[in-house]
Structure 1
Amino acid sequence: MLPVEDLYQLEFEDFMNVHPSVQAAISAIETAAQESKISQTAVENLRVWLTEDRYSQYRDEVIAHIEAGKWQKLDDVFWTIIPFGTGGRRGRMYPIGSNAINDRTIGESAQGLADYVVAFHGGKKDLSCAIAYDTRHQSRHFTELCAGIMAAAGIKVYLLDDYRATPQLSFAVRYKNCDCGIMVTASHNPPSDNAVKVYWSSGAQVLPPHDKAIIEKVMTCQQIRSMPFDEAVAAGMVEVVTDEIDAAYFDAAGKCGFDGPRDVKVLYSPLHGVGTAAVVPLAIRDGFKDIEVYGPHAEPNGDFPNVPGHVSNPENAVIFEEPIKYAKTIGANMILATDPDCDRIGVAAPKTTDTSGEWRTFNGNEIGAILGEYILSKRKAAGTLSPQHYIIKTLVTTELCRRIAESYGVRCVGDLLVGFKHIAAVIDAEGPDLFVYGTEESHGYLVGQYCRDKDGAVASMLMCELAAELKAKGISMDEYLGDLQRRHGYHRETLISLVMEGSEGMAAMQRLMKAFRTSPPASLAGIQVAKVRDYSAATITDTATGKVGHLAGPSGDLIILDLADEGNYVAVRPSGTEPKIKLYVFTRLAPDQSADLEKAESVLGARLQALEQDARDYARLNVKPS
């Protein structure tokens, strides 16, 4: 009897004899690799797609690309296997490729989730999954694909069959007692991208131990089993619940508001996404009557045509430039914007009470602090706070939020990695009845118990309440923030994104993260780096003595460089959704140095510039191959 490896070789040779075009294609890609036109990992993945039965429907398209000599494109979409991370799978869309979003990679994601849910529940009947989608290209198509796969696995689908927000999907999972959920969206990524976000029965994105188990199922998926969407609907395996979920969501989310004035004029931009169906009805329900949707951004459109750079990210101040010009003409008191799936918000407002004067945008940390102060002040006035109540933030979110919480005698749980799923996990671990507020620097905010993901609609409602209250008091939002900075010390932060695309970019990212771990900079902006916290190795190193101690906290690919000046530090991590390394820069002055806000702004502005320059210089030197 022949050894197994010899049997495989015979089968491969038989396959090649039957498919001479495949043999020619493999020879071509091997030659291209020798000529450095394509990476070796792309060759390996292309061989799999050309020879394995599970990819047979894509074979002709792959061969056509090879025959046309599209080596750069083939390398882009085959150099790696697009990861199924703990939040799902996200990337550029392309009909073929292991490193692209297409029917195969989305299908594997849904099949892996379905297989795990079925296996985990061990024969349980009445399994179910909620699915929703946004305005991106192919979102509806991928939704039908995922629904058909779930139905074929015996999992009933509750479908939000119109453009709906990610928090509404999280709510639907909980409301319908589903075993899992899928949101088809790439959030704020460029128009070229799409993704699936995967949720567990809690309404939060999947966490251990489910995340790794689902990833294993996805990465070993052989066959995708799907029921045609129309057939699944006819069989009752897909049920449209849009109206039911809308009504229940607005009832639950509306209860998160507070009493107060409602006289304020707000300009709102959905940035061509789903937000109009969530933000506007919820604000109206809360008593606001003067909410205008900004016309150029109103159309649901996956190309995001009227947004600068076609990137609908409320973190980018540039998206507010044209809306601010219009807001001045109509006397608006505030501008709100939500990203395409409406789980994050951006805010702009006049610097004074003069709506025709100078305006400013607020970053995610500033909005987090402003909302935290508003919510805690309202809860204190209502007598509904105790020392057991808590807010939640991540390690890369401003410490101003912690200081605000402590001023109200409330706990702050802040030792968390990036990702709102970690905030959701704390809510359930600490108890939702004591949860007050969750925030992360990337413009995500949550109150209440109705869902387990950040919610742009409820955050917008609360910002409307605050804007109305400030208008009634004759105070600008900038002045409101300035008062917080005086009381708790002036805080300023910035985010540096180092984009590193493709196979070379991945290697560069790995080199840079290794450098920060093994040979961090001795100083930044003239301030000594006193300690290095490595959350992957669970170590904290004193740079002066070299002493290494144990670091308590979560485990993840995050490094924090603590500077000798307390409250000043830099956090470094690779993005989980984009090909970039993010550096979060934090600066602070003590309250006794913050009375003069203009002077404090000048001091920390210069410090941030120096920190950013030094960080970029260090990165530039350490991304190169040794």
Structure 2
Amino acid sequence: MQELLSAVETAASESKISKSAAGHLRSWLTEDRYAAYRDEVAKHIRDQQWQKLDDVFWTIIPFGTGGRRGRMYPIGSNAINDRTIGESAQGLANYVVDYAKRQGRSDQLSCAIAYDTRHQSRHFTELCAGIMVAAGFKVYLLDDYRATPQLSFAVRHKNCDCGIMVTASHNPPSDNAVKVYWSSGAQVLPPHDKAIIEQVMSCQEIKAVPFAEALADGRVEVVTEEIDNAFLEAAAAQAFAGPRDAKILYSPLHGVGAAAVMPLLERDGFHSVEVYGPHEERSGDFPNVPGHVSNPENKAVFDKPIEYAQSKELDLILATDPDCDRLGVAAPKTTDATGQWGTFDGNQIGSLLADYVLSKREAAGTLSADHYVVKTLVTSELIRRIAEDYGVRCVGDLLVGFKYIAEVIDREGPDQFVFGTEESHGYLVGQYARDKDGAVACMLMSELAAELKAQGKTLHERLADLHRKHGYHKEALINLVMEGSEGMAAMQRLMKAFRETPPKSLAGIAVKQIRDYGSQTKLDVASGEKSELAGPHGDLIILDLDEEGNYVAARPSGTEPKIKLYVFTRVSPADSQDLDAAGQTIVKRLEGIESDMRAFAKENS
């Protein structure tokens, strides 16, 4: 042991590993709670795998906007493995048990668990189930690959105290994660999130009952069929009447989506729906998508499906991410399906769906000034303008994360909730879940496409109508990747620079104001005066340009080692009647902003 510890100290002194990695390695070598991993850690040290050791030990993998997510590796405090997943489940169990006691409860607690197609998802599911059972929980298990919104629904349907979804969403095949849910069916919110994190970080002992034993004696109950049927009923109830003549190609991107999407579309009257064969296999390797990354935000995943759809003269392509909580869309640009096709970004899909749902509710006479739509601060303001045009409220001052949309639904009242959306391709209607749902979004988009087809129009033409009415809106996302221990320091330096020495202009437009949701202050750049900023508290900065509707939001990702820059541009309705000219203006502006922001980041990180 002394030889191993000395080797770690020497490696740190020679800068082969960071000081923080050395500290965590000492813990994993000497503390009893890590005894099961000691031999593997020792082997890595003897083999002098210092770069790998630094990668997996330099920090403790955090809880972000969606739980604990990262690369899988058998050892390491900064990796997804039995220890970090076990800590997550044990910390959740410990907190919920303590919370229930403080509430004076004596009934049995329960937890719903589901998993997707990723590597080790089933293994981590059994581990989590055994831990929850050992803590006294009844576990309701969706015992097959199922969608994240079905887990959210299951928590509510079975009146559970919490839920666990084993998935890394749209991350690369190397990753996995757990998403943690509260009794509302939403991912955990303050104050529960911080309290759970404290339990996770202080976890000493992980107690687990063997999964097979718990399944045999009924402490784990399989509810897959029950939840499938109930979820289908609840989601189908969100449908609107109208045409159903649309030929649809659906891609689950090697994930779980077909089990939710296909029955729902069939139930809603869409009988000409085909699963795209090359993406049908349920595989954690995501073999047939570009770069093996199953993200519907990536336009490239549509290239091959579009070729197929053109050859078959189809009307619409839908794609959901591996855990089926996000939707991507492609459609012909004209009524000629053999011609040019185009994809839509998350803000455009959200705008189309918001307008569709609101128009249907208005026609049915079920809208009032008390009704509302919800979006986050980094989601297009076109959503707000559409909502206000229909005379309903838009609650939009939210941090990133669908859990904040879920919080608004319960705070403002689910009966008045109409539609929720975030820019990262997440959408929800109804009261049946408290997380984004790719399946119901597929259904609504299919309805809209069929309705427009009956009118001789396309989805792209409908979006153009919205731009002419409300102004041409275009958004872009810039990812500044900063991996490793040095990356974290660079992210902190850059966020500090945005706060203290922001750029004076972007794309030739002056930076007028800095909104800092961390300090909850507004800075007038010209005068240097600060004032109070209303809204949520979080690590988000918005740079408002001196032209209405143009701004940039910056935030560190809650799940990946990068800073996300959300760029928002707009041209007024008067200048949007010629969409080609407006588009050229916007493209030039977006290019200028990206160039200036990357230069600023390079200088200040």
**Superposition TM-score, scaled by structure 2 size:** 0.99
Structure 1 position 209, deviation (Å): 1.2
Runs (5+) with no aligned partner, structure 1: 1-21
2:562 counterpart residue number: 580
Pick from 49, 66, 69: which aligns with 2:48?
69
**Residue 331 of structure 1: which of 307, 313, 323 is its match?**
313
1:557 to 535, 539, 544: 539
CA deviations on 1:74-93 (whole Å, 9 max, x unpaired) are 00000011112353210000
2: CA distance, partners of 1:204 / 1:394: 16
The answer for the alignment partner of 1:445 in structure 2 is 427
Note the 1:45-194 alignment, pairs <5 A. Answer: 45-85=24-64, 87-122=66-101, 124-194=106-176
Asked if structure 2 preserves the Cα contact closer than 8 Å seen for 1:85 and 1:215, the reply is: no
1: distance between equivalents of 2:55 and 2:106? 42
| Distance in 2 (alpha carbons) for counterparts of 1:30 and 1:260 | 69
Give runs of aligned pairs for residues 136-285 of structure 1, distance below 5 A. Answer: 136-285=118-267
Q: For 2:2, what is the secondary structure of its paired residue?
A: helix
> Between Structure 1 and Structure 2, whose CA radius of gyration is higher?
1
SS in 1 for 2:238: coil
Q: 2:288 maps to which residue?
A: 306
Secondary structure at the residue paired with 1:598? helix
2:406 maps to what in 1?
424
1:18 is matched with which residue?
A: none
**Matched position secondary structure for 2:89:** helix
1:455 aligns with 2:449: no
What is the DSSP-based 3-state SS (H/G/I as helix, E as strand, rest coil) of the residue aligned with 1:470? helix
Distance in 2 of aligned mates of 1:622 and 1:356: 48
SS at match of 1:439: strand
Q: Match for 2:283: what amino acid? A: N
Task: Tell me the distance in 2 between the aligned counterparts of 1:492 and 1:90.
Answer: 30
CA distance in 1, matches of 2:486, 2:308: 43
**1:143-192 residue CA offsets vs partner (Å, 9 max, x unmatched):** 00000000001100000000000000000000000000000000000000
CA distance in 1 between counterparts of 2:218 and 2:266 reads 35
**What amino acid sits opposite 1:547 in the alignment?**
E
Please say if residues 130 and 169 of structure 1, whose CA atoms lie closer than 8 Å, have aligned partners that are also in contact: yes
The alignment status of 1:320 with 2:299, answered yes or no, reads no
SS at match of 2:284: coil
- SS of equivalent residue, structure 1 residue 49: helix
Aligned-CA RMSD value = 0.6
Letter matched to residue 607 of structure 1:
R
One-letter code of the match for 1:450?
Y
Q: Which residue, 507, 514, 517 being the options, matches 2:489? A: 507
Q: Is the 8 A contact 1:86 1:206 kept in 2?
A: no
Quick one: structure 1 residues 212 and 533, their matched pair in 2 at CA, closer, same or farther if it must change by over 3 Å?
same
- Match of 2:195, SS state, is helix
> Percent same amino acid at aligned positions?
73
> Which aligned pairs between 1:358-397 and structure 2 lie closer than 5 A?
358-397=340-379
TM-score, structure 1 length as denominator? 0.96
Once residues 569 and 165 of structure 1 are traced to their aligned partners in structure 2, the CA distance between those partners, rounded to angstroms, is: 34
Distance 2:138 2:525 in 1: 56
- For each residue in 1:561-581, what CA deviation from the matched residue of structure 2 results, as whole angstroms up to 9, or x when unmatched? 000011100000000010010
Q: SS state of the match for residue 401, structure 1? A: helix
Counterpart check, 1:411 vs 2:390: no
Match of 2:600, SS? helix
Task: Structure 2: give runs of 5+ residues left out of the alignment.
Answer: none
Decide whether the 8 Å contact of 1:405 with 1:411 is kept in 2. yes
SS in 2 for 1:416: coil
Q: Quick one: which amino acid aligns to residue 498 of structure 1?
A: L
1:254 CA drift (Å): 0.3
| TM superposition shift of 1:132 | 0.1
Alpha-carbon distance between aligned partners in 1 of 2:391 and 2:66, rounded to the nearest angstrom: 34
The one-letter amino acid paired with 2:23 is E
1:343 maps to which residue?
Answer: 325
Counterparts of 1:183 and 1:26, CA distance in 2? 37
Q: CA deviation at 1:126?
A: 1.6
Displacement of 1:124: 2.4
Counterpart position of 1:537: 519
- Tell me how far apart the structure 1 counterparts of residues 439 and 192 of structure 2 sit (CA, whole Å): 29
CA distance in 2, matches of 1:48, 1:492: 49
Asked if the contact 2:540/2:555 (under 8 Å) is kept, the reply is yes
8 Å contact 1:86–1:207 — kept in the other structure?
no
Q: Does 1:43 align with 2:22?
A: yes
Inter-partner Cα distance in structure 2 for 1:86 and 1:372: 24
CA distance in 2, matches of 1:209, 1:516: 28
Q: Does the 8 Å contact 1:84/1:218 carry over to 2?
A: no
Q: Is 2:506 the counterpart of 1:524?
A: yes
Distance 1:420 1:84 in 2: 15
Distance 1:621 1:534 in 2: 21
* CA–CA separation in structure 2 for the residues paired with 1:382 and 1:286: 18
How many residues align? The count is 602
Please say if 1:26 is aligned against 2:5: yes
The runs of at least 4 aligned residues of structure 1 exceeding 3 Å deviation read none
Q: Tell whether the 8 Å contact from 2:382 to 2:473 is kept in structure 1 after alignment.
A: yes
* Aligned mates of 1:124, 1:149 — CA distance in 2: 20
Please say if residues 368 and 445 of structure 1, whose CA atoms lie closer than 8 Å, have aligned partners that are also in contact. yes
Instruction: From the superposition, tell whether residues 29 and 211 of structure 1 become closer, same or farther in structure 2 (CA, over 3 Å).
Output: same
Distance (whole Å) between structure 2 residues aligned to residue 548 and residue 34 of structure 1: 44
Q: What is the CA–CA distance in structure 1 between the aligned matches of 2:132 and 2:362, rounded to whole Å?
A: 46
- Which of the numbers 255, 261, 273 marks the counterpart of 1:291? 273
Structure 1 Cα separation of the partners of residues 436 and 304 of structure 2: 27
Q: CA deviation at 1:23?
A: 1.1
Could you tell me whether the CA contact under 8 Å between 1:86 and 1:211 is conserved in 2? Answer: no
Q: Deviations over 1:177-236 (max 9, x none)?
A: 000000000000000000000000000000111111111100000000000001111221
SS state of the match for residue 567, structure 1?
Answer: coil
Alignment deviations for residues 369-413 of structure 1 (CA, whole Å, 9 cap, x no partner): 000010000000000000000000000000000000001000000
